[in-house]
Structures are given as C-alpha cells and as structure tokens.
Amino acid sequence: MQSQTGNTYRNIAANISGLTTHTTYHFRIVGTNSAGTRMGSDRTFTTP
C-alpha cells in the first residue's frame, strides 16, 4: 500500500514473491480519497 497527497501523477512499484511459474496474474490500482474510490483497469502479467 502506498499513499500520496495532492493531485499529481505517481509511478507505483511493488516487490512481490512466491508466485507460481507459468501463471497469469491479474492486478489493478485502487485509489481512495474524500471524493470516493476509483479502480484502474485490470492488467495482467505471466510469470516465466
């Protein structure tokens, strides 16, 4: 989880481990503030 104040763009990165080989994973970014919650589009990657 990462936090930010203001309204500027931010690059997001996360280190993950323990993934299974030859598997497709789905993820999305979720942002929440006083105006509500927004979800980014579904993205995928496949482990080698």
**Pair 26, 40: CB distance under 8 Å:** no
Per domain, the residue ranges of the chain are 18-48
Tokens 């919650």, residue located: 37
Query: Residue 1: its pLDDT value, please?
Result: 67
**Model pLDDT for residues 1-48, shown as the tens digit of each residue:** 667 777 777 788 889 999 999 999 999 988 888 889 999 999 999 999
d(CA 48, CA 37): 33
**Pair 12, 29: CB distance under 8 Å:** yes
- Cα three-residue angle 44-1-23, rounded to 5 degrees: 25
